[in-house]
Amino acid sequence: MTAAGLLRIEGLSVEFGSGDNLARVLNDVAFEMKPRETLGIVGESGCGKSMTALAIMRLVPNPPGRISAGRIVLGGEDLLQATDARMRDIRGNRIAMIFQEPMTSLNPVFTVGSQIAESLTLHLGLSGAAARARGVELLKAVGIPSPEQRFDAYPHQLSGGMRQRVMIAMAIACEPELLIADEPTTALDVTVQAQIFDLLRSIQQARGMGLILITHDMGVIAEMTDRVVVMYGGRVVEQGATRDVLARPAHPYTRGLVACVPTLEMDGDGEPADLPEIPGVVPSIWELQTGCPFADRCNVVLPWCRQEMPAATLIGVAHWVACWQRQEGRP
Amino acid sequence: MSANSRPAHGEHPTREALRMFARSPVAVVGFALLGAIVALALLGPMLMPADPFDIVAAPLSPPSFQEALLGTDQQGRDVLTGIVHGGRATLAVGLSAALVSVLIGITVGAIAGFFGGTIDEILMRVTEFFQVLPALLFSMVLVTLFTPTLMTIALSIGAVSWTATARLTRAEFLKLKELDFVAAEHVIGAGKGRIIWGVILPNALPPLIVSATFAIGTAILFEASLSFLGLGDPNRMSWGLMIGSSRSYILSSWWAVTFPGCMIFLTVLAVSLIGDGLNDALNPKLRERR
Ligand SMILES: Nc1ncnc2c1ncn2[C@@H]1O[C@H](COP(=O)(O)OP(=O)(O)OP(=O)(O)O)[C@@H](O)[C@H]1O
Ligand SMILES: [Mg+2]
């Protein structure tokens, strides 16, 4: 599996600040992806999902942040050892990313066409008519009507859903091996959300990309992903094949999430429901705790949960959980 | 590309700004005034090819229809010819000094704002240093160190007047660099140079254009001050030089100073009116688009 893998992350830690203000925003994060796989990252606000994506891109804001440990291996190459020039070559070309907010992700003073063409020029050396032809093709591929005209449109002339399609067109311009979508539909209407997910899925299948889908929504995880990584407080608390994790959630936090999946699709006001209420609050990242970050909210907490973080234990086929309840013995 | 089928709010931002500019009476007056002054400076010397340094009548003759329409200065040179010929130098110094000042200001501000940290710290200390320096005195020193030519005067004015542009650019960069489309640019692998000049700067332009316009007015006044103090280029006729050379006679022979003074006043007024118009046209647009 290692040799054929697309992406392997080992022991990834990201810290902000220093001294008394040190905050470990990611702590020993590890997961793997195979080519063509869709991996979901789920967890509540502030648990480090976006930071994981930025770390893969090596775009953790520095200062104050820094990647303090770990390896991020893309197709055999450790990105944390790559030079800045090499990283610029990889970004947009082998790894692409789309953001949550399509309204602000496009530069307001240039046409969408010129922004799509930029990536083509940067990585494939296309320019002029060739870049335009390829750009129009991409707009067509993401389902934008009359792509010839839209190529010359300014971002403010397009709706949110159209802009997110443009972002997707930009992201897939150079046929990346890996596409990271960070909550790509949060800012969109429900009907448009479904369309964007359909588009992502068909594009991923057609082009054989790996897809990392970051979301709050267990319904999206269930529908879209092959594997899921559940994060809490900067750590991976459980990961495995999506159907295994949904069928046999092992971590108390995952169980809380999964308990609500059937009702998750829509709640009363037609909005997709957010994560269910789990009593307690997320611990402040500013306190560097030694034990399990979920301990204070856990309903099956053991005395030693607060002292030491349990290691990830294999509990099924490629299904890991980091919980003392599933460990043999105690520290 | 049917422009008329687009909704009104879909108008190209630049075109909309131009339309708003054209609708503002203040801007139109400023534009017409500046146009007339520029036309005078460019075409006038061809219509009145006489050398402005020639002596045409008795020194300090008052304005009259027989001899000199606007009078003569203390050396007997024609004031009208001086005004017609002096416009080019004044406008050229104003424009090039503003250009120098804006180029320095944008470069310093962009680098400080984009990189932040120690680089920002150092550049801002330098900016503060130039800001507390008495600008006129410093440019006088620069001009006297080199020979006063249009070039050195423009450079020395530019070198002391860039700080406001630098601060404005830095503030814009601090704000803009956090926006998603800049992050998106990092994500596609664009280099820092491209992000600074090709992505952030175009978005920072509206307020910078306004400030550059005002910089022209400031530079023209600066040139006049230097000339008044006798530090202008003595071989090129300019409005500042005319005021400077006749300043001792202001009470006895008002015309030698008043007419070139009015030209400077009108030019700076025109430039300020245009600046105000641009400000109205560009800034609300800017807020609406974010
Ligand atoms: N510039 C920063 N300085 C300090 N801490 C930061 C900074 N940026 C992010 N963090 C912290 O990093 C943690 C992880 O943030 P991240 O954006 O990855 O969360 P997330 O899981 O994506 O949340 P959301 O679902 O709200 O997008 C948060 O607790 C946040 O407070
Ligand atoms: Mg996030």
> Residues A165-179: what's their mean pLDDT?
92
> Residues B31-60: what's their mean pLDDT?
87
- Mean pLDDT, all residues of chain A: 86
Residue among B1, B189, B203 minimizing CB distance to A88: B189
pLDDT tens-digit series, residues B89-132: 899 999 999 999 999 999 999 999 999 999 999 999 999 999 99
* Chain A, window 126-145: residues with a beta carbon less than 8 angstroms from a chain B beta carbon: none
pLDDT tens-digit series, residues A36-79: 999 999 998 889 999 999 999 999 988 788 999 999 999 889 99
Backbone angles phi, psi at A274, to 5 degrees: -85, -175
pLDDT at A237 over 70: yes
Asked: is A1-94+177-265 a CATH 3.40.50.300 domain? The reply is yes
pLDDT at A268 over 70: no
pLDDT at A88 over 80: yes
Give, in order, the Cα–Cα distances in Å from A89 to each of A67, A119, A170, A176, B284.
20, 11, 15, 11, 38
Q: Sorting pLDDT into bands at 50, 70 and 90, what band is B7?
A: very low
Q: Which of B38-52, B73-87, B105-119, B253-267 has the highest mean pLDDT?
A: B105-119
Ligand 1 binding pocket mutation candidate from A12, A16, A288 (most atoms within 8 A of CB): A16
Instruction: Give the per-residue pLDDT at A81.
Output: 93
pTM: 0.82
Instruction: Give the per-residue pLDDT at A277.
Output: 59
Residue among A104, A122, A156 minimizing CB distance to B180: A104
Beta bridge partners of A36: none
Tell me if B132 is assigned to some domain. yes
Q: Which of A167-171, A180-184, A206-210, B274-278 has the lowest mean pLDDT?
A: B274-278
Q: Which of A4-13, A112-121, A292-301 has the lowest mean pLDDT?
A: A292-301
pLDDT over 70 for what percent of chain B? 93
* CB-ligand 1 contact for A285 (6 Å cutoff): yes
- The total number of structural domains in chain B stands at 1
Distance in Å, CA A65 to ligand 1 centroid: 11
Report the Cα A269 to chain-centroid distance in Å. 27
| Sheet of strand A227-232: strand arrangement | A95-98, A178-182, A210-215, A38-42, A227-232, A235-241, A319-321, A313-316
pLDDT at A161 over 80: yes
Backbone angles phi, psi at B64, to 5 degrees: -160, 155
Instruction: Give the per-residue pLDDT at A269.
Output: 46
Q: Which residue of A has its CA nearest to B8?
A: A157
The four Cα atoms A241, A244, A245, A251 give a dihedral, to 10 degrees, of -120
> Residues A241-254: what's their mean pLDDT?
92
pLDDT at B285 over 70: no
Contact A129, A212 (CB under 8 A): no
pLDDT at A272 over 70: no
Instruction: Give the per-residue pLDDT at A2.
Output: 45
Q: Which of A178-192, A278-292, B250-264 has the lowest mean pLDDT?
A: A278-292
Residue type, A15: E
Greater pLDDT, A187 or A28: A28
Q: Exposed, middle or buried, A82 (CB in 10 Å: 0-12/13-18/19+)?
A: middle
Q: Does A6 touch chain B (CB under 8 A)?
A: no
pLDDT at A21 over 60: yes
Tell me if B59 is assigned to some domain. no
Q: Exposed, middle or buried, B54 (CB in 10 Å: 0-12/13-18/19+)?
A: exposed
Q: Sorting pLDDT into bands at 50, 70 and 90, what band is A261?
A: low
In the block, which residue shows the tokens 């992406």? Answer: A7
Residue B161, min C-alpha distance to chain A (Å): 29
Instruction: Give the per-residue pLDDT at B3.
Output: 38
> Residues B271-288: what's their mean pLDDT?
74
The four Cα atoms B217, B221, B227, B233 give a dihedral, to 10 degrees, of -10
Q: Whose CA is nearest to atom 16 of ligand 1?
A: A48
Tell me if B2 is assigned to some domain. no
Instruction: Say which CATH number the domain at B176 has.
Output: 1.10.3720.10
Inter-chain touch B6–A157, beta carbons under 8 Å: yes
pLDDT at B74 over 90: no
What ipTM was assigned to the predicted interfaces of this complex? 0.82
Contacts of A127 (CB under 8 A, 6+ apart): A117, A120, A121
pLDDT tens-digit series, residues B184-200: 999 999 999 999 999 99
> Residues B211-235: what's their mean pLDDT?
88
Q: Which of A78-87, A180-189, B1-10, B172-181 has the lowest mean pLDDT?
A: B1-10
Instruction: Give the per-residue pLDDT at B281.
Output: 79
Tell me if B1 is assigned to some domain. no
Of A107, A152, A166, A178, which to mutate for an interface test with B (greatest number of B Cβ within 10 Å)? A107
Report the Cα B189 to chain-centroid distance in Å. 37
> Residues B26-43: what's their mean pLDDT?
92
> Residues B58-82: what's their mean pLDDT?
82
Contact B81, B72 (CB under 8 A): no
Which one-letter DSSP state was computed for residue B195?
I
pLDDT at A181 over 90: yes
pLDDT tens-digit series, residues B36-48: 999 999 998 888 8
- Per the structure, the complete domain to which residue B274 belongs is given by 20-49+66-289
For A188-250, the DSSP string reads S-HHHHHHHHHHHHHHHHHHT-EEEEEES-HHHHHHH-SEEEEEETTEEEEEEEHHHHHHS--
Q: Which residue of A has its CA nearest to B181?
A: A105
> Residues B85-90: what's their mean pLDDT?
90
Instruction: Give the per-residue pLDDT at A1.
Output: 43
Q: Sorting pLDDT into bands at 50, 70 and 90, what band is A149?
A: very high
b/e for B244-278, b at 16 or more Cβ within 10 A?
bbbeebeeebebbbbbbbebbeebbebbbbbbbbb
Select from A251, A219, A237, A205 the least CA-distant residue to A312.
A237
Q: Whose CA is nearest to atom 17 of ligand 1?
A: A50
Q: Sorting pLDDT into bands at 50, 70 and 90, what band is A228?
A: very high
Give, in order, the Cα–Cα distances in Å from B194 to each of A74, A167, A176, B117.
26, 19, 22, 20
Instruction: Give the per-residue pLDDT at A117.
Output: 93
Contacts of A255 (CB under 8 A, 6+ apart): A249
Residue A233, sorted as left (phi over 0), alpha (psi -120 to 50) or beta, turns out to be: left
Beta bridge partners of A212: A39, A180
